[in-house]
Amino acid sequence: MGPGNRDHEVAIRCGITVFVPLLTLLLLDRIDLAIFASFAAFTALYGRNLEHGQRLQMQLRVGLLMIVILFLATLAGRNGVSEQDNPWALVAATTIVAGTVAVFAGYWQLRPAGSLFQIFAFAAVASVPTQPPLFDSMVVTVSTVIFALLVGMSSRVLFPWRRKPFRWPERQIFKREQRIQFWVDGAWHFIAAGAAGSIATALGPVLGMEHNYWAMVAAVVPIVGHSTSYRISRGLQRTIGTFFGVALVALLLLVPLEPWQMILIIAVLQFGAEMLVGRSYMLAQLVTTPLALMSTVLATTAGGVVIDNWQLLKDRAIETIIGSVVGVICVLLPWAWRKWVLRSEHPTRSIDLRAIEDDD
């Protein structure tokens, strides 16, 4: 377990950001729009402990990016680019999202890094069995993003004695090595997501699997990091934590849950995820796995579709293994290149962007 860093503050903000929009939709009898609120609420995950100016800039960028992603996802789903209608087209589109967003994440210095959340959001929304009206979807998405921004700045009002002068971040100038690394990271996100999605889709009919994008999400997890050992560790922790998380979901799904109960559980799980993710990635997966699956169940059943819970659990477990293996292979390939071709004395290290920044 790593040391805490005001994790409870971040966890409370994220829990509120997802709970209030979902509860509002439930009260308005529009729970069919829950998936848009859930993914738009991811805006609150960024800029955990940054100063308010930096946090607002980062969350504005992420919020606008998520609005674009969800808009494109709804258009894709309406035009047959979904898991049900054309899984290969969904893999191709999601792969492009994976690589493109990873490059943006590098230039914008987003934290969490990479394109994991955007991959999940695009593929899941495109695969919604019954797409709600586009206007309604975008209203919920934009409203939730705005709410996330307000919650992110709320401590300036609630805790004025802790308030620091608001400073908008200066424009960052990146060195050539950093710019190259951004594109390299984007390329590996593209390769890992595409390979994992293709394998999961090809094996889907054989193993009776759906939700091929879960493999794509798991595949990009090891890509983020500054050393080979750290990246491999993330892949292993993702797999181990997911299996324990699936067991927890199995217990939760034994009890018939009303929508309001699922919303409450989702908010609590979101709180728990943010409490743990900065300290132990494996333990965070114990919470993140049921969070993702409960959100999937809520979104799917809201559209009137009957869901096979045990099929859902099997898909999550198998596709996480597929994605993690692909991700680890994508990490080991450049390591092998540095070790045996470039003869590097430190093959486990990639370019450390933070070290380059410190040299300026």
Predicted local confidence at residue 356, as pLDDT: 40
Residue 38 makes CB contacts below 8 A (sequence gap 6+) with 18, 22, 266, 295, 298, 299
Predicted local confidence at residue 340, as pLDDT: 77
Contact by Cβ (8 Å): 123, 90: yes
Cα 136 to Cα 60, 73, 76, 271: the distances in Å are 21, 14, 16, 27
Contact by Cβ (8 Å): 63, 39: no
Predicted local confidence at residue 17, as pLDDT: 95
Average pLDDT per consecutive 10 residues, the chain (360 residues; last block may be shorter): 74 93 94 92 90 93 97 95 92 97 95 92 91 94 96 82 79 90 94 96 89 92 82 86 86 83 91 86 87 81 69 87 93 82 64 42
Contact by Cβ (8 Å): 17, 41: yes
Predicted local confidence at residue 104, as pLDDT: 96
